[in-house]
Amino acid sequence: MGRADRGHKDSGLGLDIDYYHSSSPGVAAEEAEKIGLHLLKVLKNAKNEVSGENIAKEFGISRTAVWKQVQKLRKAGYDIEARPSRGYRLVSTPDQLTKEELEVSLPPEFFGHVFFCEKVSSTNDLAKQMAGSGKFDPVGLVVAEEQTGGRGRFRRVWTSPRGGIWMSLVVRPKISAGSASRVALLAAVAVAEAIISSTSLPARIKWPNDILVNEKKVCGILTEMAAEPGLVEYLVVGIGLNSNFEADRVEAHRTPVTTIQGELGRPIDRPKMISQIVVGLLNGLASLEKKEDQALIDRWRELSVTIGQDIQVQLAGRSIYGRAVDIDDDGSLMVELTSGERRTFTAGEVSFGDN
């Protein structure tokens, strides 16, 4: 897995980053690292034991060399069972994010395009600066174990303790700035679907793209972009998912807060969740570029807890009461006031009843 020297460094981008730096490996060490990563990938995907002999054959190395890699993974916290004549089996994965773990879990285009850091002020800010300086093309991902200056929409503080999923995906879809609001919707669907499929928790969407479980907020999404009006240069989809910690670690705003661990009673496999979200979002974007994302927008409507509710919308200090009737194709919320007049909101803060 490569020796990791933990350190603290200025990113050169004016951001504060604690990071793991893999010491430059020689060719042999690099090869061993690749085998280690591949072995981990095989163990993760296997339903049964994996034969050490087959692995050895595939890489043209000895069974002892394979065993050495297994030892390295065990040292890194992976519980790997070894049964004579049957092979190796991954029993559990440490609940710790690393660049390696992430790269193994993500699609191949992310290899070399993942920036993992222990601590950063804001993954979105770092992702924007990296994307703005031409990096992360065509994609990139910033993941941090902890954020010291995380924020949500309207520059609100977003508490980001260890154990959560604090990530920012950089994408460069060929869409106009006006279509970017659909990306925010697709992101919400991707997160909700990832939660539902991996935990069976009833994830729902609160307009525009908060994710609730049992009426409590579990995830916020902050989509930012750089664009010429006719063409998006890059989008940063920031996702803050309260996963493997208890809800009392974070402060609630208007909506009560929960965590996946709090609802599920156990932590989740974070790299797997990250991967599911990223893959779902990239698939959604591909549909959007082909203008075939209508089914996803309909899915957004199904998962929405906002449509049909009596709500209050706050925007720029004003409050408007009414019933949320639908979203339009750009993701704007359509609200029917008691007077019967309809208003459309592209941004704003929605609350239900007394919340």
Minimum separation from the CB atom of position 223 to a copy of itself (A): 6
Please tell me whether residue 222 binds a copy of itself under the rule CB under 8 A: yes
d(CA 35, CA 166): 28
Query: 184: closest CA among 297, 314, 107?
Result: 297
Cβ(97)–Cβ(60) under 8 Å? Answer: no
Q: Does 348 bind a copy of itself (CB under 8 A)?
A: yes
* Alpha carbon distance 39, 103 (integer Å): 13
**Cβ closer to a copy of itself: 73 or 237?**
237
**Total number of residues binding a copy of itself (CB under 8 A)?**
30
Residue 251 CB: number of other CB atoms within 10 A?
10
Do the beta carbons of residue 313 and residue 333 sit within 8 Å? yes
Q: Is there binding between residue 181 and a copy of itself (CB under 8 A)?
A: yes
Site pattern 134..173 for a copy of itself (x: CB under 8 A): -------------------x--------------------
In the structure encoding, which two tokens stand for residue 40, read together? Answer: 């981990």
**Whose Cβ is closer to a copy of itself: residue 83's or residue 155's?**
155
Q: Which amino acid is at 136?
A: F
Which of 254, 146, 264 shows the shortest CA–CA distance to 210?
254
- Residue 177 makes contact with a copy of itself by CB under 8 A: yes
Of 237 and 273, which CB lies nearer to a copy of itself in the complex structure?
A: 237
Beta carbon of residue 334, minimum distance to a copy of itself (angstroms, whole number): 14
Cα separation, 279 vs 303, in Å, equals 19
Helix or strand holding residue 2 (H, E): none
Query: Does residue number 54 form part of the binding site for a copy of itself (CB under 8 A)?
Result: no
Q: How far is the CB of 172 from a copy of itself (least distance, A)?
A: 12
Residues at the site binding a copy of itself, with contacts judged by CB under 8 A: 153, 174, 176-181, 183-184, 208, 222-231, 233, 316, 330-332, 345-348
